[in-house]
Amino acid sequence: MSPEARKLARQLLDRLDGQTESPTTAGAPAPHAATAANRPARGHGAATSPRPTVHRTPNRPTRQRSRTQLTDLPQVQESLARDKELTDGLAAVNRPSPYYRCHEGPNGATIQLDNREFINYSSYNYLGLANHPRLIAAANEALDSYGTTSGATRIVSGNITLHHELEALLAETYDVDDATTVGSGYLTNATVIGFVLGENDLAVCDSLVHNSIVTGTQWAGCQRLQFRHNDPESLDTLLTRTRSHFERAMVILEGVYSMDGDYVALPEMIEVARRHDAFVMIDEAHSFGVLGERGRGIRELFDLPGDAVDIWMGTLSKALANHGGFIAGNRDFIHACRMSAPGMSLYAAGLTPATAAGTIEAIRVIADEPERLQRLRANSERFLDGAKAAGFDVGPAHGTPIIPVMIGSTHKAVQAAVLLADAGINVNPIAYPAVAEREARLRFFLSSEHTTEMIDHTLKLLTEISAVL
């Protein structure tokens, strides 16, 4: 940058901060008045269209204004105010915030926090695979072979054999043509919805779908409507009223709902969607590896063919103990997503070699060690039955590894979590804005590695704390 251009940039920044006069009124050249000396030369590949001209009335005083700060944004202020209220309340009783705490070691059925061991119910590690020797060995071998990264975006130069192996394994699991993986589960949902739907289309969502699905509908620019949670009749009523007003429609569901722990009435939902000529997409983040006789998800639970659903979506960060997401389905559709859907293989790096190898091994371990799934189910049922027997409101939980215990307010939910932490139990409160204020809760994630003694001890403490609250 030339000294003249640097001086002009400084004047413009100072003007935005309200620290100097307008460069125009101070006698400096107007920003658009580039001279032959400082105008960039045009060459091969340079833009040829002229710069837009800014018309100003000479010598008109420029209105001064202070520079807007990011911390002035209302959403930032609201978030900071909520956090301050929480931390001030906890500081008054000498307790740490339950959020974003650093732990040592694997995030399993027990966890090390602040040099103490806790019984842990705040991990997606449903099958205890996060520190499984086979997964660690597979990840280490991939690191030795490929290094830490797959390179660039996959469409350019970032493909490795492990990507193809994993995607073939996922396609086989769902009995479909093909699958593709993505570096983020959240991004998987947002991207595929944004790719499929447009401004003349309709997304019909269960009222409890994940925020990533809501984001996808915003990226698509489509209309998004909600039906009552897990209610096929409500879905039918909504589609009957609205379907004819849109070119395409897609019904979007979850296998297991992450806040309530119940699973979708999938066959009934599919029947309604097909009657109204709507695509069906299902998010299996919390159901793959958990439902079905072999842990193959909601499709196996209901014994459905692979083409019963148009888009099978899942994440690698829950039962599979890794990171990222995937979609599975029709070969041509998956290929189009790879080539043209921003955020999948286009403009986004592929899975790291260690992640791809670890996920492949996780799928194999689930098949080789079915006792893990059996223990998980037994633990989930024991906790759910015990919570109900103690009189707790567990919402619509079905006995999946997600069991909410409704507390009723943010203040009480945080207080309950703090008291449990004092007793060596790590469970996170879920409060507004993640759920409605009146539905604040403790959300327990069960693992195959919890023992019956851990579960019974937790329920006993929870009952005692509930009486205090």
Residue 167's domain is classified under what CATH number?
Answer: 3.40.640.10
At 40, the pLDDT band (50, 70, 90 cuts) reads very low
Whether residue 222 is found in the same domain as residue 301:
yes
Q: Which domain holds residue 378?
A: 80-120+371-468
Candidates 22, 122, 258, 380; catalytic one: 258
Q: Which amino acid is at 60?
A: R
The one catalytic residue in 132, 210, 318, 450 is: 318
Q: Does residue 174 sit in the same domain as residue 306?
A: yes
Q: Are 238 and 225 a contacting pair, CB within 8 Å?
A: yes
Whether residue 418 sits in one domain with residue 278 = no
Q: Please tell me whether residue 461 adopts helix, strand or coil conformation.
A: helix
Q: Residue 96, preceding bond cis, omega within 30 degrees?
A: no
Q: CA of 98: how far to CAs of 95, 211, 218, 248, in Å?
A: 9, 22, 31, 43
The 10s digit of each residue's pLDDT in 452-461 is: 999 999 999 9
Nearest to 125 by CA among 317, 284, 268: 317
Q: Which amino acid is at 357?
A: A
Query: Which of 336, 368, 400 is the last residue in one of the domains?
Result: 368
Within 10 angstroms of residue 276's Cβ, the number of other Cβ atoms is: 17
Same-domain status, 140 and 84: no
pLDDT of residue 250: 98
373 touches 366 (CB < 8 A)? yes
Helix-strand-coil percent breakdown of the chain, rounded to 5? 40, 15, 45
Say whether both 160 and 278 belong to one domain: yes
Quickly count: other Cβ atoms within 10 Å of residue 328's Cβ.
Answer: 26
**Residues 146 and 200 reside in one and the same domain:** yes
pLDDT at 38: 43
pLDDT of residue 175: 97
| Residue 452: other Cβ atoms inside 10 A | 11
Q: For residue 148, is it within any domain?
A: yes
SS3 letters across 246-307: CCCEEEEEECECCCCCCECCHHHHHHHHHHCCCEEEEECCCCCCCCCCCCCCHHHHHCCCHH
What's residue 437's pLDDT? 86
Distances (CA, A) of 452 to 157, 235, 326, 392: 49, 40, 34, 19
> Which residue, among 311, 445, 294, 263, has the nearest Cα to 363 in the 3D structure?
294
pLDDT of residue 33: 40
CA dihedral over 19, 23, 25, 31, signed as positive or negative: negative
- Check whether 8 has a pLDDT greater than 60: no
Q: What is the pLDDT of residue 308?
A: 97
Stronger pLDDT, 435 or 193, i.e. the higher one: 193
Question: Is 411 tagged catalytic?
Answer: no
Residue 313 resides in a domain: yes
Name the DSSP class of 119: E
CB 344 within 8 A of CB 163: no
Q: Which helix (H) or strand (E) holds 161?
A: helix 161-174
Across the chain, what does the average pLDDT equal? 88
Structural domain includes residue 11: no
Question: 3-class SS at 73?
Answer: coil
Confidence of residue 353 (pLDDT cuts 50, 70, 90): very high
- What is the Cα–Cα distance from 420 to 443, expressed in whole angstroms? 13
Rounded Cα distance, 121 and 113, in Å: 13
- Give DSSP secondary structure letters for 317-355: SSTT-S--EEEEE-HHHHHHHHHH-BTTTBSSB---HHH
Q: How far apart are CA 449 and CA 451, in angstroms?
A: 6
The answer to whether residues 184 and 309 belong to one domain is yes
If you search the block for the tokens 């901060």, which residue do you land on?
17
Choose the final residue of a domain: 368, 403, 421.
368
Predicted pLDDT of residue 43: 41
Query: Can you tell me the mean pLDDT for 77-96?
Result: 85
Count structural domains, the chain: 2
Phi, psi of 173 (to 5 degrees): -60, -40
Residue type, 44: H
DSSP string, 376-436: HHHHHHHHHHHHHHTT---TT--SSSEEEEE-SSHHHHHHHHHHHHHTTEE--EE-TTTS-
How much is the pTM? 0.84
Question: Pick from 303, 334, 368: which residue ends a domain?
Answer: 368
Does 140 map to a domain? Answer: yes
Is 44 domain-assigned? no
Q: Is the pLDDT of residue 46 over 60?
A: no
Evaluate whether residue 42 is within a structural domain.
Answer: no
Tokens of 372: 């893990």
pLDDT tens-place string over residues 310-327: 999 999 999 999 999 999
Claim to verify: residue 206 and residue 344 sit in the same structural domain: yes
Tell me: do 349 and 441 sit in the same domain: no
To the query of whether residue 32 is one of the catalytic residues in this protein, the response is: no
What local confidence, expressed as pLDDT, does residue 432 receive?
81
Checking if the pLDDT of 302 tops 80, the result is yes
The two tokens of residue 466 are 């509930």
Q: Both 177 and 298 in a single domain?
A: yes
Pick the catalytic residue from 286, 380, 448, 450: 286
Q: Are residues 193 and 324 both part of a single domain?
A: yes
Q: At what angle do helices 133-146 and 353-368 cross, to 10 degrees?
A: 150
Give the pLDDT of residue 58: 59
Burial of 306 (0-12, 13-18, 19+ CB in 10 A): middle
CB 410 within 8 A of CB 437: yes
Per-residue pLDDT reduced to its tens digit, 210-230: 999 999 999 999 999 999 999
Looking at residue 129, its pLDDT comes to: 98
203, 351: one domain: yes
Q: How far is CA 305 from CA 148, 266, 298, 300, 386, in A?
A: 37, 12, 11, 9, 36
Given this model, what pLDDT does residue 54 score? 54
